[in-house]
Amino acid sequence: MRSTPPNALPWLLLSAAVIVLDQVTKALVVAHVLPGQRLTLVPHLLDLTLAYNTGAAFSFLAGAGGWQRWLFGLLAVGISLALAAALARVPRGAWRTALPFALIIGGALGNLVDRLRLGHVVDFILVHWRNDWYYPAFNAADSAITVGAVLLVGFAIWGDRHDKS
């Protein structure tokens, strides 16, 4: 009888940690910051602000009338299930695959919790340069998705170079 090598499903613990971090930071901001209020963390660079986003990244489809809540919810569930199924087939030590997948799952589900509970996503991190340029407000879940996607692409492009040495 052949034993199967351990899979990367334990990386879902990182996904759970991302969800907890995301929800705790959102709860703290909602409790202490008024909508639209800006609290400077780093002058001319980083503020806390409370914003509600009914759309996706960059408020895409924010004014679509409500159906987008369910579309983005279904996408979050579908992508998370697909990535979790992939983790079940990935060897546990394949961290260059498991880490980005776990971050993306955690971020997608962190924002899904908001969509289901509140009907919108809570955003609170505002990066800007002086008063000349602003990046749209985002949250910890968005950061996890972005870092996961960048790592996924980066490891796909440059990962083999390190493995061959």
Catalytic position from the list 22, 123, 132, 163: 123
Collapse the DSSP code of 116 into the 3-class scheme (helix H, G, I; strand E, B; otherwise coil) and give the result: helix
**In the chain, which stretches have pLDDT less than 50?**
164-165
Catalytic position from the list 22, 47, 114, 142: 142
The ranges assigned to domains in the chain are: 9-131+139-158
* Tokens at 75, concatenated: 């996408």
User: Tens digit of pLDDT for each residue in 92-117?
Assistant: 889 999 999 999 999 999 999 999 99
3-state helix vs strand vs coil in the chain, percent to 5: 60, 15, 25
* Tokens at 156, concatenated: 């796909």
22 is catalytic: no
114 is catalytic: no
* Tokens at 102, concatenated: 């776990």
pLDDT at residue 165, as a whole number: 39
